[in-house]
Amino acid sequence: MTVTVLSEVAAGAEDLSVWPASTQRLPHGGLAVGGVSLAEVADRFETPAYVLDEGEVRGRCRTYQDAFPAADVLYAAKAFLSRAMVRWVREEGLGLDVCSAGELELAVTAGFPPERIVLHGNAKSPRDLEAALRLGVGRIVIDGPSEIARIAAAVGPEGHQKVMVRVVPGVSAGGHDKIRTGTDDQKFGLSLTDGGAQHAISRILGQPQLELTGLHCHIGSQITEVKPYLVALRRLVGLMARIRDTHGVVLSELDMGGGHGIAYRPGEPALDLTALARRLRAELHKGCAAARLTVPRLLIEPGRAVVGPAGVAVYRVLAVKHTGEKVFVAVDGGMSDNPRPALYGVRYAPRLIGRASTAGRRTATVVGRHCEAGDVLAADVELPGDIHPGDLLAVPVAGAYQLSMASGYNLVGRPAVVAVHQGSARLLVRRETLDDFRSRDIGD
């Protein structure tokens, strides 16, 4: 496909800073990502459609590898997972962090080495643990005291499994109360302040078939400052020193989780990855020197920061409604493919694509098609005043925690996922259909 690109001057200076790096302006108001027109994607694959820029994903994997050359970078599968995503992450040299037997088995059947996978979660099912042990997962992160005996029994007296302990370091960080996981008032991990982590570690060390390799923490999501990570790291290094002094065991790994914040709209803050890597390394070496500890290998688990900015959601406008002073623009998706605005109040920056408009801009609210007043995709955004049914809207930064959290609400069906790369588009995940719903519904 030949793409004719407009200069920024000719196309106007609309900010595309949160779009994939490959994004190009086209004549007549169009946009191309990965060398492919988004309007053509909509025509070919229908809408809603999620467009994933393979080059952007791979580039962000390499950025992490470059920033953390002496660390293990594990992609957090919960952000978005597919067979293609598994391949891209594997080929770029990252490990994988999974939270269920479903994520684990998809990854392994798609060719990912199980020894480079870490399994965690606050309530692992028997199926989760069975799959992890059967497939030979590299690490299991113990999240609560009851898991110790369960895992040891499943491994058996002659077996062996490497484990880590998820520690709650007492650090509050994250973009919303519902995604702050570093304090004692939430469901994850074992507390440092009440001694729960220390007690669990003692029990694990008493299980010969379990090898405790290190500590794990994840303090929250959408974190845009480095300081909370440094505070958490200092507290975990202190715990590692106490483990050595009490048990004579020197742990070799320290997993600082992910939660690296990204910008969803132009001008929003994002975590400075270079600063994070530099200051984590410095703090780790300083703390270990002071405690006379061997420096453990660092692990990190980015998910959103790898795939979020690589995704674009494309919707078609179904209706435009003027209610008093408000304008509602209803599209053919909504909270079934992106529940995040309803859950966390997340804000996006949708853009008209596929045609040019000379109309003045006005404030509108982009809503979904579902039977909920809270089905709002983007509140109070600026759109052309002549927007009408049939138009296309594209929403950037749509790669993470949208399709992975999608539902079957109203039996609308989950959208297709389309990969774009070097001028070509291919279907990764087909659209969910009525036949899919019918095939699961076996009652009468």
pLDDT, tens digit (0-9, with 9 covering 90-100), for 56-84: 999 999 999 999 999 999 999 999 999 99
Nearest CA-CA partner of 432 in 295, 336, 306, 331? 336
The catalytic site residues sit at 371
Which range has the worst mean pLDDT, 22-36, 62-76, 162-176? 162-176
Asked if 76 and 255 count as a contact pair (C-beta separation under 8 A), the reply is no
Measure the CA–CA gap between 17 and 264, rounded to whole angstroms: 10
pLDDT (tens digit per residue) in 364-392 = 999 999 999 999 999 999 999 999 999 99
Provide the pLDDT for residue 1. 46
- Average pLDDT on 241-255 reads 97
Measure the CA–CA gap between 203 and 190, rounded to whole angstroms: 13
pLDDT (tens digit per residue) in 198-236 = 999 999 999 999 999 999 999 888 999 999 999 999 999
In 336-387 the beta strands, taken as DSSP E runs, fall at 351-353, 361-367, 376-384
Provide the pLDDT for residue 8. 41
Provide the pLDDT for residue 188. 78
Single-letter residue type at 6: L
Q: C-alpha angle 278/283/288, rounded to 5°?
A: 135
Question: Residue 44, Cβ neighbours under 10 Å: how many?
Answer: 13
- Average pLDDT on 257-276 reads 96
- Domain boundaries, given as residue ranges, for the chain: 8-53+309-440, 68-302
In 385-429 the beta strands, taken as DSSP E runs, fall at 392-396, 416-421, 424-429
Measure the CA–CA gap between 38 and 3, rounded to whole angstroms: 11
**pLDDT confidence band for 171 (50 / 70 / 90):** confident
- Average pLDDT on 139-149 reads 95
Measure the CA–CA gap between 143 and 209, rounded to whole angstroms: 18
Provide the pLDDT for residue 184. 62
Q: C-alpha angle 9/15/19, rounded to 5°?
A: 120
Single-letter residue type at 4: T
Provide the pLDDT for residue 186. 62
- Average pLDDT on 148-171 reads 94
Question: Top-level CATH class of 8-53+309-440?
Answer: mainly beta
**pLDDT confidence band for 173 (50 / 70 / 90):** low
Mean pLDDT for the chain overall: 93
Q: Is the pLDDT of residue 177 over 70?
A: no
Residues ≥6 apart with Cβ < 8 Å to 76: 97, 258, 301, 302, 303, 304
Pick the CATH number of 68-302 from 3.40.50.2300, 3.30.1490.20, 3.20.20.10, 3.90.25.10: 3.20.20.10
Q: Is the pLDDT of residue 266 over 60?
A: yes
Q: Is the pLDDT of residue 13 over 90?
A: no
**pLDDT confidence band for 32 (50 / 70 / 90):** very high
Measure the CA–CA gap between 366 and 262, rounded to whole angstroms: 22
pLDDT (tens digit per residue) in 338-347 = 999 998 888 9
Q: Is the pLDDT of residue 7 over 90?
A: no
Provide the pLDDT for residue 14. 75
Provide the pLDDT for residue 183. 58
Provide the pLDDT for residue 170. 83
Range 382-385 contact pairs with CB under 8 angstroms and sequence separation of 24 or more: 383/329, 383/350, 383/352, 384/352, 384/357, 384/359, 384/360, 385/359, 385/360, 385/361
Measure the CA–CA gap between 33 and 2, rounded to whole angstroms: 13
Q: Is the pLDDT of residue 442 over 50?
A: yes
